[in-house]
Amino acid sequence: MSNAFTVAALISAGRHPVSGAPRACRGDAVAMALGRRMAGDGLRVVHAGAAEEPSLQDYLALGAGTIEALPLDSSGDAVATLAAHLKNVDIILTGSNAESGAGSGLLPYALARALARPVAGNVLDARVQKTAGEGWDVEIRQFLPKGQRRRIGCALPLVIAVHPRAPVQLKYAYARRLSGRIERFPETPTDTCVAQPVWTVETASRRPIRLKARETKSGHARMQAAVVAEAKGGIVAFEGSTVDKAQVMLNYLREHRLVDF
Amino acid sequence: MSDVKRINPRRPYRMSPTGLRRIVLGEIASADPHIGVTAHETQQAKPLRTREPAKRWHMAVAHSERGRLDDHAREAIAAASILATPDTGVVAVILGELHENAGELGADKIVVVPDLDATRFQPQREEAVVQVLLDEFVPAHVFMPDNLRGDGDLGRRLIAKDNAFAATHVIELDARHVSVSWSGGAEIAKAPLPRFVLLAPGVVDAKLPFAGAGELLPAPKLPGVTEAYRDLGLEPTEAADIALEEADFIVSAGNGVENVETLGTLARTLGAAIGASRVAVDEGKFSRDKQIGASGKSVNATTYFAIGISGAVQHLQGIKGCRHVIAINRDGGAPIVKRADLTVIGDAEELMQALITRVSQARNQGEVPRSKDE
Ligand SMILES: Cc1cc2nc3c(=O)[nH]c(=O)nc-3n(C[C@H](O)[C@H](O)[C@H](O)COP(=O)(O)OP(=O)(O)OC[C@H]3O[C@@H](n4cnc5c(N)ncnc54)[C@H](O)[C@@H]3O)c2cc1C
């Protein structure tokens, strides 16, 4: 398939959440598979980080073909490195959240900003069509909660963050892992100096504490609250006719804004 | 007379909902000591959080849904007001219509932009409008719900523009710090409270002992932005076709449901997806993909109707993430009663029929729902 537009998928080092074993990050693998469907063999697969990263082998097995590995400079700013490398790519596909580190889901937005192009998040599917003129246009199907889906049209170039539920098939083949290649690029110095966050990481030994408003209540009020809080479980409606009970249920639904009538 | 303090053995008491006798010190004797506490409590107007003029601002930004704010959005406003010092004001920016009082949720000033509701996709306009307000108030911190309804997207756009350190998926916060889960949840990472904070759901207790001033400000003019995106609209969806894992409203049947037709009608009337317990699936009433529980699916619906389901642990495991559980059961001692927020005792078939009738009535007549304090 020869394309007049170019597509690149970004892949990150995945880690199993419990064992920490290196693996392909599922969200990125899904983005890569979607890119394969859009661009066929023309898809470029790019990793910002060390070429020695063990999880890259998994991506090769999933059909990456050739992975372009861009070493990061001392600032470790993946966005600037990627922006410089992908300036001329029309469609950049990323996963929604990385598996290692914070997984903040900010990269596609920061990258789009750096390249001054639009970005669409939670994308399930994207199809590129030729417009009436010379250009290309992409139609996106976006995931929304509660089973809703939205369609969005956008001109190229753009950045697409793929939702992990995108309907693609991932096939692992050991032969592809052996035949795939990792292409090393030289380090490109970037001139950004964004203050990197200072996260202090510790093992999660406790549950997070909920933020609560501090209350200064009298002993009396606290005792009363404790008496009320004793009621474990919810309300039980024994009495009344079935019509009354139906009304009780409807009232509950309305009171908690669970229905819109 | 000895000086031992005498206690009146018949001093006023209350019956707690579990049937225990409770003496609350300082209680003024009520005429009827048997009146339940819950029925007795009167809602008083909450005191204002602060009376000082605002020198600095906290901002909360969220989309409304059908004129109301969901729990997640309320939590963002609550976080902004809990973390505010007395000389800090709270601005709530609501995108979409709002038919409720955000002052009670803790906001001192409210900006409602009805044209930017979540059903439409216009991120660049939203970004521009919020930017106008950010420039006007220069809030020290901005709190937003990190959801897929548009707030997570808008928040990330603003963060990218701000180009400073920010935190998303925040699972814990206080006046100085935020924590996020690290590497898939095995670890937790802490950092100083940044300017933009996108909150995971359930991180803040939205119940506040105070209220905000709740002053409604005029909406800023919509800037003339040409969107790079063309919104082609929402796809029509049928509630019954929604995958159970995604459904927000589930009607679920157990062994106590004889008539599957009635259940289907109820689900359609309420606009709900259909689930089932293992017994109901084993009997062939439902297909295997409808099974909810340990050996079936785990669901995260906001509303879960358990009809004729006893509530075995294997079933309860699958509905851990459901916020409101309503049970219909013949047996007041079934384990589901402990889990359910509302249990209605009675025959499943009769109650389903009654509910179908009542809900269709309410829908067709477009009744104005009675509010709680009427
Ligand atoms: C390894 C294992 C895995 C399992 N996994 C699952 C699972 O994934 N999901 C699951 O659901 N179960 C699972 N189970 C089965 C589970 O233990 C229970 O047997 C099952 O959930 C019970 O289903 P039920 O509540 O529909 O039926 P029952 O226990 O028979 O309860 C029926 C309820 O309906 C009420 N009732 C009866 N007639 C009426 C009526 N006319 N009107 C109103 N109420 C009525 C009764 O009072 C009763 O409370 C598992 C069990 C095992 C051992």
In a domain, B84, yes or no: yes
Mean pLDDT of B37-64: 77
Instruction: Confirm or reject: Cβ of B290 under 6 Å from ligand 1.
Output: no
Give the residue whose CA is nearest to atom 39 of ligand 1. Answer: B256
Mean pLDDT of B29-33: 45
Name the residue among A145, A151, A252 with its Cβ closest to that of B148. A145
Task: Assess whether pLDDT exceeds 60 at residue B278.
Answer: yes
Greater confidence, B192 or A227?
B192
Task: Assess whether pLDDT exceeds 60 at residue B263.
Answer: yes
Same domain, B201 and B56: yes
In a domain, B213, yes or no: yes
Query: What gap in Å lies between CA A45 and CA A112, rounded to an integer?
Result: 18
Ligand 1 centroid–CA B289 distance in Å is 16
Ligand 1 centroid–CA A254 distance in Å is 28
Burial of B268 (0-12, 13-18, 19+ CB in 10 A): middle
Same domain, B208 and B259: no
B-chain CB neighbours of A217 within 8 Å are: 209
Which CATH number do you get for residue B318? 3.40.50.1220
B283-322 pLDDT, tens digit each: 999 999 999 999 999 998 889 999 999 999 999 999 988 8
B122 is in an annotated binding site: no
Which range is most confident: A126-130, A230-234, B137-141, B242-246? B137-141
Task: Assess whether pLDDT exceeds 80 at residue B117.
Answer: yes
The H or E element that residue A32 is part of is: helix A26-39
End position of a domain, from candidates B201, B217, B233? B217
Task: Assess whether pLDDT exceeds 70 at residue B152.
Answer: yes
Mean pLDDT of B22-34: 56
In a domain, B231, yes or no: no
Same domain, B87 and B202: yes
β-strand partners of A119: A159
Which domain range does residue B71 map to?
46-217
Q: How many domains does chain B have?
A: 2
Instruction: Confirm or reject: Cβ of B344 under 6 Å from ligand 1.
Output: no
Question: What pLDDT sits at residue B35?
Answer: 43
Same domain, B162 and B208: yes
Domains and CATH numbers, chain A: 7-184 (3.40.50.620), 209-261 (no CATH)
Same domain, B91 and B190: yes
Same domain, B68 and B197: yes
- Residue B103: band (very low, low, confident or very high) from pLDDT cuts 50, 70, 90: confident
Task: Assess whether pLDDT exceeds 80 at residue B7.
Answer: no
Mean pLDDT of B366-373: 47
Same domain, B196 and B269: no
Min Cα–Cα distance to chain B from A9, Å: 20
Same domain, B203 and B124: yes
Same domain, B197 and B273: no
Which CATH number do you get for residue B94? 3.40.50.620
Task: Assess whether pLDDT exceeds 90 at residue B16.
Answer: no
pLDDT in tens, chain A (261 residues): 446 889 999 999 998 888 889 999 999 999 999 999 999 999 999 999 889 999 999 999 999 999 999 998 766 678 888 999 999 999 999 999 988 888 889 999 999 999 999 999 999 999 998 887 778 899 999 999 888 899 999 998 999 999 999 999 999 999 999 999 999 988 876 665 555 667 888 888 888 899 998 877 777 777 767 666 555 567 888 888 899 999 999 999 988 878 877
Query: Best of B314, B322, B325, B347 to mutate for ligand 1, by most ligand atoms within 8 A of CB?
Result: B314
Give the ligand 1 atom nearest the CA of B254: 26
ipTM: 0.88
B359 is in an annotated binding site: no
In a domain, B135, yes or no: yes
Question: What pLDDT sits at residue B42?
Answer: 42
Share of chain B above pLDDT 70, in %: 91
Question: What pLDDT sits at residue A197?
Answer: 61
Question: What pLDDT sits at residue B34?
Answer: 44
Q: Are A139 and A149 in contact (CB under 8 A)?
A: no
CB pairs under 8 A between A and B: 294
In a domain, B232, yes or no: no
Tell whether A21 lies on the interface with B, counting CB pairs under 8 A: no
In a domain, B20, yes or no: no
Mean pLDDT of B87-92: 94
Same domain, B165 and B269: no
Task: Assess whether pLDDT exceeds 90 at residue B29.
Answer: no
B57-75 pLDDT, tens digit each: 999 999 998 788 888 999 9
Q: Look at the alpha carbons of B4, B8, B12, B15 in this order and tell me if their dihedral is positive or negative.
A: positive
- Asked if B163's CB is within 8 angstroms of A113's CB, the reply is yes
Query: What gap in Å lies between CA B46 and CA B371, rounded to an integer?
Result: 18
Same domain, B111 and B192: yes
B300 is in an annotated binding site: no
B63 is in an annotated binding site: no
In a domain, B339, yes or no: yes
Identify the three-state secondary structure at position A46: strand
Give the ligand 1 atom nearest the CA of B292: 9
Same domain, B312 and B265: yes
Global confidence as pTM: 0.81
